[in-house]
């Protein structure tokens, strides 16, 4: 069993470094927005997690690799004391990139020693599993942050664009009768976070869900219809964002020679009308849905539909396309790309489920303290590792955030 977990550990740790491989050294350091962490910081912080959460508890004669690192690479854990300011992560030219890779190697070796210990206590195994899930979340954040960083630079990037263009599937709606359904993680043999445990019954009214997500072409029609100039489509907070941020289009859309272009992690390219729209905020998703005489799904409708009618997946991190793929061929009564491609905004606030219990000790800070003012997104995206996502998985972001690979699937009342 330890061999199995050791292999998983090695694979996950290597993948984080592979994601960064096309970067130039300078790309690792900058923080062009408070939400965008330097890639170097992600590589160090995920290592800190194993050092602080696993090694400090289970390694014999534990001593910190460098006491400064415990301060520098703590993200938001009050339980572990003082930490470097989040908004100033990009100020740190030291430790440099090479030193961070050395740190990763050293902690990997110490983890390998721990993993060779037999038998590994059950609690230690659970924490290592959490450390790997945590690193997978940061792999997705790396994808988001690297895209943002490279969008601010000049010249070619070394990331490939492997998207195969095709024509989007007709966007019909699939109807669901509704009724009582079980929501939440139900399989005790697979990993789940505390925020999705506590399976419970939810009653769904009859509803319909779109077979695929909204495309660039459909979203462009909203723009051309004056969507960003008409307050009636927007929630008050969203309209304020449109005014103060001067939003005219999704993030990474830019008009060049009167044509819309979009930044993929590879380069700027003409907007592909058939590709799913991505990098919209909750407010934009909500406004688009209202303009379309539709709405966003609740997270419960989404989960029920994903468990019963989901068909072929969209793109994942392993595909290394860094963009949502077209949804073309599809069986008639199935929902395309519920998993992968884009995180789908739901109209559900991120709240505890009934009888919610936060994880113990420091890990109660992992999810539960964020349960206010954020909205739930479902299904994973083109930067999510395939094995990381599941139907009950709840992601959450603030309504104004849009550097996430986030998109729109429409729903309707029946």
| Site residues (vs Fe ion, CB under 5 A) | 75
Q: Between 75 and 367, whose beta carbon lies closer to Fe ion?
A: 75
Q: Between 130 and 251, whose beta carbon lies closer to Fe ion?
A: 130
- Strand 375-378, strand 395-397: pairing: antiparallel
Nearest distance in Å: CB 120, Fe ion: 23
Per the CB < 8 A criterion, the answer to whether 140 and 340 are in contact is: no
With CA atoms as reference, report the closest residue to 341 among 321, 366, 357, 355. 321
Nearest distance in Å: CB 75, Fe ion: 5
User: Tokens 């470097």 — which residue?
Assistant: 84
Among all residues, whose Cβ is closest to Fe ion?
Answer: 75
* Residue 391 φ then ψ, to 5°: -60, -30
Q: Between 191 and 239, whose beta carbon lies closer to Fe ion?
A: 191
Q: Between 42 and 283, whose beta carbon lies closer to Fe ion?
A: 42
Nearest distance in Å: CB 95, Fe ion: 18
How much helix, strand and coil, in percent to the nearest 5, is found in the chain?
40, 15, 45
Nearest distance in Å: CB 194, Fe ion: 15
Nearest distance in Å: CB 159, Fe ion: 23
Q: Between 134 and 378, whose beta carbon lies closer to Fe ion?
A: 134
Nearest distance in Å: CB 153, Fe ion: 25
DSSP 51: I
DSSP 169: P
Letter string b/e over residues 124-143, b meaning 16 or more CB atoms within 10 A of that residue's CB = bbebbebbbbbbbbbbbbbb
Nearest distance in Å: CB 46, Fe ion: 7
- Strand 207-210, strand 200-204: pairing: unpaired
Q: Between 139 and 347, whose beta carbon lies closer to Fe ion?
A: 139
Nearest distance in Å: CB 290, Fe ion: 34
Per the CB < 8 A criterion, the answer to whether 325 and 382 are in contact is: yes
Can you spell out the DSSP letters for 6-34?
HHHHHHHHHHHHHHHTT--GGGGT--SST
DSSP 211: S
Q: Between 44 and 208, whose beta carbon lies closer to Fe ion?
A: 44
Q: Between 383 and 391, whose beta carbon lies closer to Fe ion?
A: 383
Per the CB < 8 A criterion, the answer to whether 404 and 397 are in contact is: yes
Q: Between 2 and 368, whose beta carbon lies closer to Fe ion?
A: 368
Give the separation between CA 56 and CA 71, rounded to whole angstroms: 14
Nearest distance in Å: CB 76, Fe ion: 8
Nearest distance in Å: CB 351, Fe ion: 22
With CA atoms as reference, report the closest residue to 47 among 90, 86, 100. 100
Give the separation between CA 277 and CA 168, rounded to whole angstroms: 12
Q: Between 82 and 122, whose beta carbon lies closer to Fe ion?
A: 82
* Residue 294 φ then ψ, to 5°: -135, -165
Per the CB < 8 A criterion, the answer to whether 157 and 48 are in contact is: no
Give the separation between CA 136 and CA 298, rounded to whole angstroms: 26
Encoding tokens for residue 239?
A: 């309209």
């Amino acid at each position: 069993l330890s061999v199995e977990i050791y292999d998983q550990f090695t694979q996950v740790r290597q993948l984080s470094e592979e994601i960064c491989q096309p970067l130039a050294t300078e790309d690792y350091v900058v923080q062009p927005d408070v939400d965008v962490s330097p890639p170097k910081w992600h590589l160090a912080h995920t290592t800190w997690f194993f050092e602080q959460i696993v090694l400090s508890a289970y390694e014999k004669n534990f001593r910190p690799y460098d006491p400064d690192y415990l301060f520098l690479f703590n993200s938001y854990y009050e339980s572990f004391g003082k930490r470097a300011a989040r908004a100033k992560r990009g100020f740190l030219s030291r430790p440099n990139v090479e030193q961070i890779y050395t740190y990763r190697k050293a902690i990997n070796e110490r983890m390998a020693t721990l993993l060779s210990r037999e038998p590994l206590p059950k609690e230690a195994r659970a924490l290592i599993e959490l450390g790997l899930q945590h690193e997978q979340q940061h792999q997705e954040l790396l994808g988001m942050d690297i895209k943002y960083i490279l969008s601010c630079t000049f010249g070619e990037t070394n990331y490939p664009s492997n998207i195969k263009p095709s024509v989007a599937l007709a966007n019909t709606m699939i109807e669901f009768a509704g009724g009582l359904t079980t929501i939440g993680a139900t399989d005790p043999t697979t990993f789940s976070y505390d925020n999705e445990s506590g399976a419970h019954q939810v009653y769904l009214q009859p509803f319909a869900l779109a077979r695929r997500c909204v495309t660039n072409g459909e979203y462009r029609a909203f723009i051309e219809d004056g969507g960003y100039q008409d307050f009636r489509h927007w929630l008050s907070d969203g309209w304020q964002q449109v005014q103060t941020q001067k939003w005219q289009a999704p993030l990474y859309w830019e008009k060049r020679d009167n044509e819309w272009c979009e930044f993929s992690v590879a380069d700027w390219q003409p907007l592909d009308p058939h590709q799913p729209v991505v990098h919209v905020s909750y407010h934009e998703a909500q406004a688009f849905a209202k303009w379309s005489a539709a709405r966003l799904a609740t997270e419960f409708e989404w989960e029920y539909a994903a468990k019963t009618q989901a068909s072929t997946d969209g793109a994942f991190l392993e595909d290394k396309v860094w963009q949502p793929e077209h949804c073309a061929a599809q069986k008639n009564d199935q929902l395309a790309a519920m998993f992968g491609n884009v995180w789908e905004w739901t109209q559900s606030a991120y709240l505890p489920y009934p009888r919610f219990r936060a994880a113990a000790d420091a890990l109660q800070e992992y999810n539960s303290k964020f349960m206010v003012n954020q909205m739930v997104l479902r299904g994973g995206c083109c930067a999510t590792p395939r094995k990381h996502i599941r139907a009950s998985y709840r992601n959450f972001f603030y309504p104004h955030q849009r550097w996430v690979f986030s998109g729109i699937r429409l729903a309707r009342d029946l």
